Amino acid sequence: MAGVVFEGVSKLFGDIAVVRDLNLEVRESEFLVLLGPSGCGKTTTLRMVAGFIVPSAGTIRIGGEDVTRLPPRARNIGMVFQDYALFPNMTVAENIGFGLRERKVEKSALDRRVAELLELIRLPHLAGRFPSELSGGQQQRVALARALAYSPRVLLMDEPLGALDLKLREAMQIELHRMQRELRITTIFVTHDQEEAMGLSDRIVVMADGQVQQVGSPEDLYTRPANPFVANFIGKINFLSGEVAAVEGGRCTVRLADQATVSGIAQDRCQAGQRAQIAIRPEALRLIEPGSAEFANRLPGRVKRRRFFGNIVHYSVATASGQELLVESTTGAGTVALEQTVWIGWQPELTLIYPGAATAHAAQAASPSPAGSLA
């Protein structure tokens, strides 16, 4: 087992920087997820660890050893590919034993290890089958066993669950999680699916435009997103924008276009008069009585849509300034009719304030509708 360290790693294709000055440490035995939209550089990063792509600048170390220019076969890593890339001309057992055979492992030891892995993935009865005779989930597990067979230092996974249907994907997530905990192998997992990232990882690296946006545990990213992009990418969130009216300590108050004010926790240094973005999770918002003083932040609105999900209900509420806020409420909290005028209230402690003009990402994320990930 070993950790992976990126020191100032960049990759340019022509003039385009796909990965920019990446500095990151993947800890030993950690399950790290590289998360981001397509084209953010996460797959390029993974392929640089694998050795398929040589960085334009910087150093990659595995277990302290500089592997930047080593060919893939000399890195002693395992990898699971998006399309599994099982060898169609080999049986399941031969596929799993591939890496061992390349390492000139003696036949009896090889057979023993293959049997062990077939047990681990719970497919011992399929040893003699060919990949084309397996289901997607089975192929996935064989690919995993093949990558683990020679006890690599690091396991790389490139959107390995993307091709599976929802039910199977969830089952495989649990299975993967179990195996990773059991083997304690350092794992780098690439995905664009934030729920998958949250469910599997110890830590998540959110990437966009070739740059790391934030590194942290799923809880960190959800409760304290470093910027509007991360806030929008992880979970659902509402955005409002306005101008900073007052600053006191870590708090600041923002005046919206309709003169209403909202206060919250400043995520960066704030100055009065500056533009700022306000981000609030849908579950932090409450539908309240008009006169209630329970919450410091209050806005009036009109209920536009109601969507029922069983344990929760989503309301879309249009505020006076025309922005729509997504309110997530539990089913027991009473029903509200459409077009009814309501008040929304929430705690300043659950309000994230990002000073500065909307970044390209935030603008992109928030522009179609204030509750960016409503859909």
Partner 1 sequence: MAAGARRPSADHADLASERSRLWRLLLWPPFVIALALLVLPQAVFVWMSFHKSLGMGLVSDFLTIENYRRVLTDPFYLHAMWMTFYLSLGATLINLALALPTAYYLARLRSRWVSYFVVLLLVSLFVTVVIKVLALYLVLGKEGMINHTLRALYLISEPVQMLNSQLGVLIGLVQYTLPLLVMLMIGVFQTIPSSLEDAAEVHGATWFSSLSRVVLPLAWPGVIAGSLIVFNMNMGAFTSAVLLGGGRVLTFPVLIHRKVILDVDYAMGATLSTVLLVFVLLVNLASVLLLRERRGSGSQRAATVHVS
Residues in contact with partner 1 by the rule CB under 8 A: 50-52, 71-73, 75-79, 81-83, 85-89, 98-99, 102-103, 130-133, 146-147, 150, 156
Q: Which is nearer to partner 1, 146 or 192 (CB)?
A: 146
Q: Which is nearer to partner 1, 72 or 348 (CB)?
A: 72
Shortest reach from residue 163's CB to partner 1, in Å:
12
Q: Which is nearer to partner 1, 143 or 234 (CB)?
A: 143
Asked if 185 contacts 176 with a C-beta cutoff of 8 angstroms, the reply is no
The H or E element that residue 221 is part of is helix 218-223
Shortest reach from residue 170's CB to partner 1, in Å:
25
Q: What is the DSSP secondary-structure string of 140-185?
A: HHHHHHHHHTT--SEEEEESTTTTS-HHHHHHHHHHHHHHHHHHT-
Shortest reach from residue 103's CB to partner 1, in Å:
6
Q: Quick check: helix, strand or coil at residue 330?
A: strand
C-alpha distance across the termini of the chain, in Å: 41
Any residues with CB less than 8 A from the CB of 332 and at least 6 apart, and which? none
Q: Which is nearer to partner 1, 128 or 250 (CB)?
A: 128
Tell me the two tokens of residue 325: 């806020």
Q: Which is nearer to partner 1, 71 or 368 (CB)?
A: 71
Q: Which is nearer to partner 1, 72 or 199 (CB)?
A: 72
Q: What is the DSSP secondary-structure string of 54-109?
A: --SEEEEEETTEE-TT--GGGS-EEEE-TT----TTS-HHHHHTHHHHHTT--HHH
Length of the chain: 375
Shortest reach from residue 187's CB to partner 1, in Å:
15
Q: Which is nearer to partner 1, 188 or 230 (CB)?
A: 188
Shortest reach from residue 204's CB to partner 1, in Å:
24
Shortest reach from residue 373's CB to partner 1, in Å:
32
Shortest reach from residue 101's CB to partner 1, in Å:
8
